[in-house]
A and B are shown apart, each in its own frame.
Chain A
């Protein structure tokens, strides 16, 4: 299965590669102050805790039960909660998404897993025309407390139909909430918030982040931990240029900020966390401080998240901009497979550094060669 093949292909450049390590290690037994937690475990623990707290929450998707999840996110859940709450489905995205929406209509709280959001295309009518619009169309009579989650965006060496980023697609729809975590803290807090939220939420994870570890505090590990939807996080404060990013790109942006710091540019990195609603006030406040903006995303450039951020900043903070907004996005081509081409098609740390320098009116070399 391609998920396994992926582990053998090293992604180029600065992209993190998922390392094979034991999935579950209960670090809570250790008494060290700052614990490390993998994103995979963060998601698993969030699901576990929410399912434990509310019997209406149930998980549904392909391979989520017996197989423990295509990416092991639902490991142990079938055993703990039984087949009525962890449902292995036939291969029918349209079918199980429709069923999830119907169950939500009637009062259950489904968490629908797409093996990758690329496959959500086969079910997108239920997400848009039913889940997103029902509350409005029914004048508040039918709420749809459903979560659609799964890996989104580029992985490594999986080609065009497994690498598409759907953030802009879903975030354009009123009635949906769209979240995209970066760290384990994000993963836990946002997934819990999504499951508790009475509105339909699209939860965009990232396959390459599943195996990454992040420090988590005791507060994050608490079962009542929850992050607010619609608030971005300033991952790194700075004063010269604002860099906005979400999901895996936050990691690249932080690396870029390190490099820029050495060259005397202090970059402020904003982890959007929430694509819809977009935290326009945090973004604009930051731009008003730094006067320069670089938006970075993996997805295609046209009508992307960066385009929306750029428009928002121009509408609200035009006078504060000292340079045109720089927009970094994936190449406007279906994702190629060959490793060297793939590397060229997705933003790398160097691209972010170059864009930040351009925004700061530093001279920069031409675009990287292959």
Chain B
């Protein structure tokens, strides 16, 4: 088989998937990335040789054999395929894992020669403050749950860069289908701290009318679908949304988030396979945070993470350092462009660590060490890392940090107080929205209930509106 020519440069190395006899390498230098144009199959100038090559495992799939094989092909359903008389199994894993795209080093210094999307001071500061807001919101609400003020909470601690970095890279029209550890995306789009508080307290001001348990927020206005508990169901649904967007010819894509655990679900397979066949403009973002409740990733799958699965479906994929906000921002922006302009699904695996417990129903110290948690919390904190970079640009200071944190905390405590005092939803909300129009049996039951409450008011709490 002919050798594939690859240039070991550039941000995105996309090997031509069809046959290795036509060498075409597509490199997208980031500065070319804007919504109006996308280069097709032309070679751009090289020069950035920082990133190591993700070659080996791909080589083993398509490496060259002896020369006289390359013109001998077989015709089968699915196209022509070269053959070999040497029996060789593709190894279950390659010698080197797929490398991880990062732009900032552990201290928040920009790595020389990186491909990255420059951000303005305004965007950088907005990103940073939202990461801090997310962290503070999580800490305060978590504590409130521990105090028994509402039943359940789950935090996003350690994954702020994925949340905010990806949110910042998307447009307001992009439709989000999250798993449940992505409140940062909602925060970025304008969901207020009061709205979050209302949702967890399930009061009558809640947009969801108190129908859902805590952290199951959503907003049609902000194009963020209401969180649904079953894992990975949002993945094929995202493909459906993407299909709708494609039919409408909208300049927008669907973005579905999942964790590492979610990729074990059948829906993950169905969604990726189908998205590729349908040529749907959807970006799948997998937050590989190492844990699915107490299930470590070595017990979840035996592949090299999630990124290698993309190719199995014919989907372009990238692995990114999920704790590097700039890298996430850059990669997601590029993925989005590809998805929309080329009408294809793209897979982004963001490596990170789940610093918090799975939820308030979990105590992760039972299955991992305190040292491990502490290490990731402090030394690998995505917030500190990004902060260093922002400060180095001269865009942030210690004083602004203190002010921001205390302001957010105050706002939150205020929001919680207000939310807790706000009335619960009216009893009529028990019966509405089951269907578009209330059915006769429910209308009847509601009427009966109201009559009973009127007749026996002493048996009903006075602070619950009817």
User: Which A residues are closer than 8 A to B by beta carbons?
Assistant: 84, 87, 89-90, 92, 94-108, 110, 125-126, 129-130, 134-143, 174-175, 177, 197-199, 230, 277, 280
Contact = CB atoms under 8 A, between A and B. Distances in A.
Kindly list the 6 A-B residue pairs having the minimum CB-CB distance in the complex, ordered from nearest. A102-B240, A98-B236, A95-B270, A102-B237, A103-B240, A99-B240
Contacts of A89: 274
B247 A84 contact: yes
Contact of A129 (B228, B242, B269, B273): B228
A287 to B, nearest CB: 18
A108 B244 contact: yes
B99 to A, nearest CB: 31
B458 to A, nearest CB: 28
Contacts of A100: 240
B80 to A, nearest CB: 23
A103 B436 contact: no
B267 A106 contact: no
Contact of A94 (B212, B234, B266, B278): B266
Contacts of B243: 99, 102-103, 108
B208 interface: yes
9 contacts: A90-B277, A92-B274, A95-B236, A97-B236, A98-B239, A99-B240, A104-B240, A108-B247, A137-B216
B220 A138 contact: yes
A125 B220 contact: no
A136 B429 CA distance: 10
A135 B434 contact: yes
Given A125-B233, A137-B211, A198-B436, A106 B270 contact: no
Contacts of B266: 94
Which residue, A95, A97, A104, A137, has most C-beta atoms of chain B within 10 A? A95
Contacts of B197: none
Contact of B244 (A106, A135, A139): A106
Interface in B413-466: 429, 432-436, 439-441
Given A106-B244, A137-B211, A199 B239 contact: no
Interface residues of B, number: 50
A106 B240 contact: yes
Which residue, A99, A104, A126, A197, has most C-beta atoms of chain B within 10 A? A99
A136 B226 CA distance: 11
A195 to B, nearest CB: 14
B53 interface: no
B309 interface: no
Contacts of A134: 226, 228
A175 B439 CA distance: 10
Contacts of A135: 433-436
A297 to B, nearest CB: 21
Nearest to A146: B240
B434 A101 contact: no
A138 B219 CA distance: 8
B308 interface: no
Given A136-B434, A137-B216, A138-B208, A95 B245 contact: no
Interface string B250-291: 000010000000000011011101100110000000000000
B230 interface: yes
A142 B226 contact: yes
Contacts of B237: 98-99, 101-102, 105, 126, 130
A214 to B, nearest CB: 29
A95 B225 CA distance: 19
A175 B433 CA distance: 8
B235 A98 contact: yes
Nearest to B216: A137
A216 B386 CA distance: 71
B241 A102 contact: yes
Contacts of A280: 441
A110 B239 CA distance: 13
B434 A139 contact: no
B138 interface: no
A101 B240 contact: yes
A309 B247 CA distance: 44
A265 to B, nearest CB: 32
A321 B385 CA distance: 77
A140 B225 CA distance: 12
A134 B436 CA distance: 11
A96 B226 CA distance: 20
Nearest to B432: A140
Contacts of A126: 233, 236-237
A199 B241 CA distance: 18
Interface in B196-251: 206-209, 211-212, 216, 218-220, 225-226, 228-230, 233-245, 247
B273 A92 contact: yes
B177 interface: yes
B435 A177 contact: yes
Given A89-B274, A108-B247, A277 B440 contact: yes
B175 interface: yes
